[in-house]
Structure 1
Amino acid sequence: MKLDILVLAAHPDDAELSCSGTIVKHIRAGKSVGIVDFTRGELGTRGSAEIRDREARASAEIMGLAVRENLQFADGFFTNDQAHQMEVIRMLRKYKPEVVFCNAKEDRHPDHQKGGELATVSCFLAGLKKIETFDEGHTQEAWRPKAVYQYIQSNYIAPDFVVDCSEVWDVKMAAVKAFSSQFFTGDTADGNAEDQTFISTPAFVEFLNARGREYGQHIGVQYAEGFTTTRLMGVDDVFDLI
């Protein structure tokens, strides 16, 4: 299965929080999008790996993903080394995405920056034909995405570009709230009696909406999601930037 966009994420719910509006918008435009989560989020204060597995599947259905996989790296302890790079390279060559979204270049959670660095290095290495990887016993062809963009997470980072997500913001928030063990949903039966965390309060949901409104305000829309990039971006027509 070839994907147009592959989202690489340190934890289940990273993609939902940061770029699920962009995901849904492109799926509705006919693009095929998938997510590969690096860990099962097993070190999270609330819930469990098994609960997060179910929540990730529910969220994938809400968004309409073509595929979602989990590499089951060790939450909190995975590193940007050869063994982990080879697993990510295998996913890149399996799905051959044109565009990759990955974790923020810096953030409050150390796994996010590590995840972004692992993804970026692996995207380059995946294009080197002398690195051999296999899928179901078959040698994989080298593949390098045309673009890698970092979605913005908890820390404020000035985006290099933003995507208007106004029309799908309700779907984004539904995908986020599918992780009811992690976030406040307004349902008293959703496990919110557990220890409160940075992301489990009503204030965090308000923050997500406020961040979306802030990015949207800059381009004259209601909600947007922000991304950074290390590549120089070009356009054929300056009116595409309006």
Structure 2
Amino acid sequence: MLAGMATAGTPEAFETIHGVAGPLDWLCLAPHPDDAEIGAGGTLIRLARAGRAVGILELSRGERGTQGTPDVRVAECARAAAIMGLTWRGQLGLPDGELRDTLGGAHALASVLRAVRPRVLVVPHHHDRHPDHFGTYHLTKRAVHLAQLAKADLPGDPHRVGRVLLYQGNADITPNVLVDVEAVQDTWAAAILAHESQFSGAAISETVTPEIVERRRARLTYWGTLARVRYAEAFEADSALLVDPLAL
């Protein structure tokens, strides 16, 4: 366990389930175990292979999911983290099914942001049918703001996230960032299927299904067509991107 925050009504600690917490180049926030792999796994694997410090933070243990148990799902997250080559993976322990913009949750998340100090934060898109996904987006907006305030009642030094990217969940988005992930497809699929409790049993939804890789790869193929590559992951920048015209 890593010491967390002392603010009333928030967790006392966040849990490290893989690696060692420290400054990260990229951090992906996942409402539930496996969301990060499905929505942004290929990009995270590419970054890790390039030597970047990359992490995932689950906000909940997925304890209300139809399949699997919290302990099983945490173990699956650890296996997937090793497959992906992550620097760190953590668990915040907020209640599954209740992820939304609350002061207590924002303090908890802001304390993690101060502890691992990501330069780029990757967050579920607010256009999603799942309340925990769009709730995570709105909770993150408050946490990012709190983490940078010198006078916020939080442990650690203030930290300003440099960039926020939104990843696709269960609904269409209009991306303005596409990432070529063709070279990491085998590793990406292995990381998703490490969540065996979700993807080896009966189909529960369009996401919790043994066909998850096939279904998600269809989306990667579509985005890849737009980018003139075979497979691409899609993101939306939460604020305007500054582009060097010489790189275009």
Asked whether the two chains share a fold, i.e. TM above 0.5, the reply is yes
Q: State the match for 2:107 in structure 1.
A: 86
Matches of 1:230 and 1:196 in 2, distance apart? Answer: 31
CA deviations 1:52-103 (Å, max 9, x no partner) are 0110000010011111111110000133111000011111100111100011
CA deviations 1:155-193 (Å, max 9, x no partner) are 111211111111011111111100111114xxxxxxx1x
- Does the 8 A contact of 2:199 with 2:211 survive in 1? no
Q: State the match for 1:56 in structure 2.
A: 77
**What is the aligned counterpart of 1:209 among 195, 198, 217?**
217
CA deviations 1:101-149 (Å, max 9, x no partner) are 0111221211000011111221122111110312xxxxx1100111011
Q: For the aligned residues, what is the CA RMSD?
A: 1.4
**What is the aligned counterpart of 1:18 among 24, 39, 51?**
39
Q: State the match for 2:174 in structure 1.
A: 158
Q: State the match for 2:232 in structure 1.
A: 224
Shift of 1:197: 3.3
The one-letter amino acid paired with 1:180 is: E
**What is the aligned counterpart of 1:235 among 218, 243, 247?**
243
Matches of 2:196 and 2:33 in 1, distance apart? Answer: 12
Structure 2's unaligned 5+ residue stretches are 1-21
Q: Does 1:124 align with 2:145?
A: yes
**What is the aligned counterpart of 1:113 among 134, 145, 151?**
134
Identity over the aligned pairs, expressed in percent?
A: 36
Matches of 1:196 and 1:46 in 2, distance apart? Answer: 9
- Does the 8 A contact of 1:5 with 1:99 survive in 2? yes
The one-letter amino acid paired with 1:76 is: G
Shift of 1:201: 3.1
3-state secondary structure, aligned to 2:188: helix
Q: Does 1:35 align with 2:43?
A: no
Q: Scaled by the length of structure 2, what TM-score is found?
A: 0.88
| Count of matched residue pairs | 227
Q: State the match for 2:7 in structure 1.
A: none
- Does the 8 A contact of 1:80 with 1:114 survive in 2? yes
3-state secondary structure, aligned to 1:39: coil
Q: Quick one: structure 1 residues 14 and 200, their matched pair in 2 at CA, closer, same or farther if it must change by over 3 Å?
A: closer
Q: Quick one: structure 1 residues 79 and 105, their matched pair in 2 at CA, closer, same or farther if it must change by over 3 Å?
A: closer
CA deviations 1:33-53 (Å, max 9, x no partner) are 111110000111111111101
Shift of 1:21: 0.3
Q: State the match for 1:200 in structure 2.
A: 208
3-state secondary structure, aligned to 2:92: strand
Matches of 2:215 and 2:125 in 1, distance apart? Answer: 17
Q: State the match for 1:133 in structure 2.
A: 154
- Does the 8 A contact of 1:120 with 1:148 survive in 2? no
Shift of 1:202: 4.2
3-state secondary structure, aligned to 2:164: strand
The one-letter amino acid paired with 2:80 is: S
Shift of 1:218: 0.7
Shift of 1:195: 6.5
3-state secondary structure, aligned to 2:196: coil
